[in-house]
Amino acid sequence: MSTVLLAGATGYLGRFIAQELFSRGMPARLLTRDLSRVAGLDRGTAEIVHAEVTRRDTLRGTMEGVDVVVSTVGITRQQDGLTYMDVDYGANRNLLEEALGAGVRRFVYVSVLHGETMRDLAICEAKERFVADLKASGMSYTVLRPSGFFNDLAALVRMARRGRVYVFGDGSVRANPIHGADLAAVCVDALEGDVPVIEVGGPDVLTQRDMAYLAFEALGRPPKITHIPPSVRRTALAMVRTCTPGRVHGPLAFFLTVAARDMVAPEAGFRRLRDYYRQIAARPPAAS
Ligand SMILES: NC(=O)c1ccc[n+]([C@@H]2O[C@H](COP(=O)([O-])OP(=O)(O)OC[C@H]3O[C@@H](n4cnc5c(N)ncnc54)[C@H](OP(=O)(O)O)[C@@H]3O)[C@@H](O)[C@H]2O)c1
């Protein structure tokens, strides 16, 4: 059985991958920059290794005996003063170089659906640059391209709780987001495969309007939906790019871009957004 090094175990998806490795009894090493953050993980006998992925020297020796590296490392909400090029590209490049030096057999990397066609966004440019290096490295690899994560859509329940959900245009843009646990299963299946690219989404293809209705339904409230004209989205996109620092415009520009295009990928998993919304609606407002 392969020994797996997981970089990103403290994140939303990484935590589910750690659990999936544990539940399948796979030998694992979890790499983290903060040992206290892995303390609560359901990780069985997984070994914990401390390193700063943005500093190549700290990775030395961490991959001895490792067969496959999985990386979910990337900036989502972190505010470390680093750029996507430092982390989504640079840190993953460091992991790849260490893996090549240590004789690792395979590398599984989590990117974004349609990232290749959104390279005008700093996050996608950094991720795709890493994908290009990974392809050129000669190592066996899989790039996972998920459509979107359930946790990113919890914002709709928060909006519904405040009384109104805003959708772009007529709300007809479609996506099939996936639960972290379902994506983790796809990711761990990919450890032994040899498919270079896996585009993947969840079991339900939903419009933005559908998602807004599900958020209100979960709270047991009548829907109140406001449509934001497409011109407002375009103006906001242009303004955030020119008027805000990178740490603000990076995530916002990504959000405003994917909000206007279908993000539908081949379906996997069985967890439904309706159930996820019911779970978070049942929690106290501060916890959702
Ligand atoms: N639509 C999509 O396809 C989609 C949607 C969401 C995410 N994604 C991508 O999927 C990947 C995983 O997402 P996620 O939601 O699990 O993200 P997440 O919760 O933010 O986890 C990201 C991981 O990267 C690590 N990381 C970030 N910056 C770091 C730094 N400077 N130094 C060391 N480690 C750092 C984090 O460590 P700490 O916990 O220590 O910060 C964490 O373990 C990301 O690359 C994300 O861009 C794709």
Q: What is the pLDDT of residues 123-160, one digit of tens each?
A: 999 999 999 999 999 999 999 999 999 999 999 999 99
Is the shortest distance between the CB of 58 and ligand 1 below 6 Å? no
| Strand residue runs (E) in the chain | 4-7, 28-32, 47-50, 68-71, 106-110, 140-146, 165-168, 174-175, 197-200, 206-207, 225-228
Model confidence at 284, in pLDDT bands (50, 70, 90)? confident
Q: How far is the CA of 87 from the centre of ligand 1 (A)?
A: 9
Model confidence at 175, in pLDDT bands (50, 70, 90)? very high
Model confidence at 288, in pLDDT bands (50, 70, 90)? low
pLDDT of residue 238: 87
* Number of other residues whose CB lies within 10 A of the CB of residue 283: 10
| Listed residue (20, 65, 28) closest to 48, CA to CA | 28
Which has more pLDDT, 248 or 218?
218
pTM (two decimals): 0.95
Confirm whether 221 is domain-assigned.
no
Is the shortest distance between the CB of 255 and ligand 1 below 6 Å? no
Q: Do 80 and 72 meet the contact criterion of CB atoms below 8 Å apart? A: no
Residue 145 forms beta bridges with which residues?
199
Confirm whether 220 is domain-assigned.
no
Confirm whether 98 is domain-assigned.
yes
Burial 240-267 (b: 16+ CB within 10 A, else e): bbeeeeeeebbbbbbebbbbeebbbbeb
Which residues have CB under 8 Å from 279's CB, separation 6+?
none
Asked if pLDDT for residue 44 goes beyond 80, the answer is no
pLDDT of residue 121: 93
Residue with tokens 């709300």: 171
Radius of gyration of the chain (CA): 19
The number of domains in the chain is: 1
pLDDT of residue 287: 67
Q: Dump the DSSP string for 121-138.
A: SHHHHHHHHHHHHHHHT-
Which residues have CB under 8 Å from 238's CB, separation 6+?
none
Q: How far is the CA of 9 from the centre of ligand 1 (A)?
A: 9
The preferred substitution site among 76, 108, 116, 125 for testing ligand 1, maximizing ligand atoms within 8 Å of CB, is 76
Name which of 96-100, 104-108, 246-250 the model is least confident about. 246-250
Which has more pLDDT, 154 or 45?
154
The preferred substitution site among 15, 73, 128 for testing ligand 1, maximizing ligand atoms within 8 Å of CB, is 73
Confirm whether 20 is domain-assigned.
yes
Confirm whether 275 is domain-assigned.
no
| Listed residue (92, 30, 80) closest to 56, CA to CA | 92
Q: How far is the CA of 10 from the centre of ligand 1 (A)?
A: 8
Range of the domain at 28: 4-147+177-200
Q: What is the pLDDT of residues 242-260, one digit of tens each?
A: 888 777 788 888 998 998 9
Confirm whether 269 is domain-assigned.
no
Is the shortest distance between the CB of 54 and ligand 1 below 6 Å? yes
Model confidence at 78, in pLDDT bands (50, 70, 90)? confident
| Listed residue (27, 23, 30) closest to 2, CA to CA | 27
pLDDT of residue 173: 96
Confirm whether 49 is domain-assigned.
yes
The percent of residues above 70 in pLDDT, for the chain, comes to: 99
How confident is the model over 173-187, as a mean pLDDT? 98
Rounded-to-10 torsion of CA 266, 269, 273, 278: 180
Mapped onto helix, strand or coil, the DSSP state of residue 226 is strand
Q: What is the pLDDT of residues 253-279, one digit of tens each?
A: 899 899 899 999 999 999 999 999 999
Confirm whether 280 is domain-assigned.
no
CATH code (residue 11) = 3.40.50.720
The percent of residues above 90 in pLDDT, for the chain, comes to: 82
Looking at residue 127, its amino acid is: K
Name the residue at shortest CA distance from atom 2 of ligand 1.
148
